[in-house]
Amino acid sequence: MSEKKLRILVAKPGLDGHDRGAKIIARALRDAGFEVIYTGLHQTSEIVAEAAIQEDVDAIGLSILSGAHMTLFPKVIELLAEKGAGDIPVFGGGIIPKEDIAELEKLGVKGVFTPGVSTEAIVTWINEKISPRA
């Protein structure tokens, strides 16, 4: 019996209209053997959390370039917890100042990737840090 592929939801919450990076990450994850669900642009935190639950994902990767990371990352985590899915790890990337990374981690974000991080590094991090959910 083959090992279950990790299912990763890649999401673009908020009003940010640039998704090239998210699509590059989604493709790299797919090419690395993960099942990837991409939500598209302009999603609400509620839609992201609900999609993660409906798709039974093992993790959520958020891409935020708009500067709303301190609001949107914690909101997704809060909604997952409210819906009984607080065990779904959230990671993400985008234009995130170094001084915000530690605070995001305190709020429950499992990993933060800023511009310049290779797709290989993200794939390696997922393989090391994310496990299939029960």
The radius of gyration of the chain's CA atoms, rounded to the nearest angstrom, is: 13
14 within some domain? yes
**pLDDT recorded at residue 11:** 97
Rounded-to-integer distance, Cα 6 and Cα 4, Å: 6
- Whole-number average pLDDT of the chain: 96
77 within some domain? yes
72 within some domain? yes
Find the helix or strand (DSSP H, E) in which 112 lies: strand 109-113
Spatial strand order in the sheet of 109-113 = 35-38, 7-11, 59-64, 90-94, 109-113
- Structure pTM? 0.96
Q: How many CB atoms lie within 10 A of CB 113?
A: 21
Domain of 26, CATH number, reads 3.40.50.280
- pLDDT tens-digit profile of 50-107? 999 999 999 999 999 999 999 999 999 999 999 999 999 999 999 999 999 999 999 9
- Residues linked to residue 61 through DSSP beta bridges, in sequence order: 10, 91
Give the distance from CA 97 to its chain's centroid: 17
134 within some domain? no
**Position 11, amino acid:** A
Q: Give the range of the structural domain holding residue 11, as residue numbers without chain letter.
A: 7-129
Comparison of pLDDT for 128 and 2, the residue scoring more: 128
Total of domains in the chain: 1
**pLDDT recorded at residue 4:** 83
pLDDT surpasses 60 at 1: no
Asked whether the beta carbons of 84 and 51 are under 8 A apart, the reply is no
22 within some domain? yes
Which of the four pLDDT bands, split at 50, 70 and 90, describes residue 3?
confident
**Position 8, amino acid:** I
Hunting for tokens 């794939």 — which residue is that? Answer: 123
2 within some domain? no
114 within some domain? yes
User: Considering the chain, what percentage of its residues have pLDDT values greater than 70?
Assistant: 99
82 within some domain? yes
